[in-house]
Every structure is written in C-alpha cells, then in structure tokens.
Amino acid sequence: MKKTALIFTSVTVLAIVAIIISCNSSDAKEKAIPDATGFIATPENVKHGEYLVTVMGCDDCHSPKTFGPRGPQLDIERRFSGRPAAAPMPKVDTATLKSWALMAHDLTAAVGPWGASFAANITSDATGIGNWSLEQFKTALRKGKYKGMENGRDLLPPMPWMQYKNLTDEDLRDVFAFLKSTKPVENVVPAPIPPQHLK
C-alpha cells in the first residue's frame, strides 16, 4: 500500500512539473512573436538590451532633451527619436570647423570638418529602425553604414560605431531587441549637411 501511494505521489509530482514546464514554454512562445522582418526576441533579450543601451549612453545623442532646473533631461515622449525634424539649424561659424567639433544644446546635432550630422531615429517606428532586419542593424554598427545598407553612405561622427563594432553578436541582438520594443516615434531626421553648404 505504501509503495502504491509513493508511486502515485511521484507520478502526480512529475505531472505537475510537466504542466508547469509546458505552461512556461507556451508563455515564452506567446511572448516571442516575430516582427515583420522575422526577428524574434525574448523578454531576456530585451532586458539585457535595455541594460546595454543605458550603459552605452545611446540616450545622450539619440534622445531629444527638455530643460529643467538641473539642465537637460530626457524627453521621454520622444525618447530615441533622434534630431527633431522641425528643429532649426543654428548658424555655424565655418572658420572654426577645422579646429573644433560642436554639439547642439540637446546633443542631437553635431558639426565639424565633416559638416553637420544628426542623431538618427532608433525607435521602433518605420521612420526609425522599425522595418530593419537584425542583419541591417549589425551592418550599421559593425561597418558604419547608413541604414545598415552595404552600399549606403558612411555613418558620420560622433556616432561611435568603431567602438560598437566590438560588441558580440548576442549583445547586438539584444540591443536591437530592446530598440525594437520601444515606443514608435514618427520623426524623419534631417539629412547631413556637407561642410560647403553650412552657413
């Protein structure tokens, strides 16, 4: 009788464990839905990507700022949306560009010997990286190519892709996973301005 009860108890415990594992697996499958490009991210990928984006300082340039009593602070509603399309371009003293690189007050624009460059929209919107594949993202950060296109123009300073190219494939995947999970913000960032066209 004791052996039968023990066997019954063991079978019951195993059945409960199997049900729990099955539920957790189906929950993970439900959460890991591919996007339009076929990319699948887990909650763990997104969480690790958020950590990396935070410590890598992506907000510094890619997020517009508001100004409060302690100076510039992130504009959460436009987080990661890059240089606002409607932001005016201040006059630039082109004589100083041979010796200096200057940043806009919110850090979303920079000028230097290369001309003027603007921080990209990296939100999940179509005007950001919403339609990008993981391979495009890797090409952008590993090879410094605009929109991750092999035949595209080079990314301009101050984008530090030459450092980010050293991220592992897993790190790049997770950064991409987090950025794909962000609130989409529609914003078409201005095109770069060559130095000869700066005023």
7 occurs within a structural domain: no
Q: How far is CA 86 from CA 36, 90, 108, 126, in A?
A: 29, 12, 12, 18
Q: What is the pLDDT of residue 31?
A: 56
Model confidence band, residue 1 (pLDDT cutoffs 50, 70, 90): low
Higher pLDDT, 98 or 15: 98
Q: Is the pLDDT of residue 116 over 90?
A: yes
28 occurs within a structural domain: no
9 occurs within a structural domain: no
Mean pLDDT of all residues in 74-99: 90
151 occurs within a structural domain: yes
Mean pLDDT of all residues in 124-146: 97
Q: What is the pLDDT of residue 92?
A: 85
Host domain of residue 167: 43-197
Report which DSSP code applies to 81: -
Q: Is the pLDDT of residue 59 over 90?
A: yes
Mean pLDDT of all residues in 10-26: 47
34 occurs within a structural domain: no
Q: What is the pLDDT of residue 99?
A: 83
CA atoms of 157 and 159, how far apart (whole Å): 5
Strand, helix or coil for residue 149:
coil
Strand, helix or coil for residue 76:
helix
Mean pLDDT of all residues in 14-43: 59
36 occurs within a structural domain: no
134 occurs within a structural domain: yes
Q: What is the pLDDT of residue 142?
A: 97
Q: Is the pLDDT of residue 148 over 50?
A: yes
14 occurs within a structural domain: no
Both structure tokens of 116: 């003027």
Pure H helices in 32-65: 43-55, 58-62
Model confidence band, residue 33 (pLDDT cutoffs 50, 70, 90): low
CA atoms of 103 and 83, how far apart (whole Å): 12
Indicate the number of domains in the chain: 1
Higher pLDDT, 187 or 13: 187
Q: Where do we find the tokens 């606002």?
A: 84
Q: What is the pLDDT of residue 81?
A: 98
Q: For 56, how many CA atoms within 13 A lie in the half-sphere containing its CB?
A: 21
Q: Are 139 and 198 in contact (CB under 8 A)?
A: no
Q: 156-165, pLDDT tens digit by residue?
A: 999 999 999 9
Q: Is the pLDDT of residue 5 over 90?
A: no
- The sign one gets for the Cα dihedral 158, 162, 166, 171 is positive
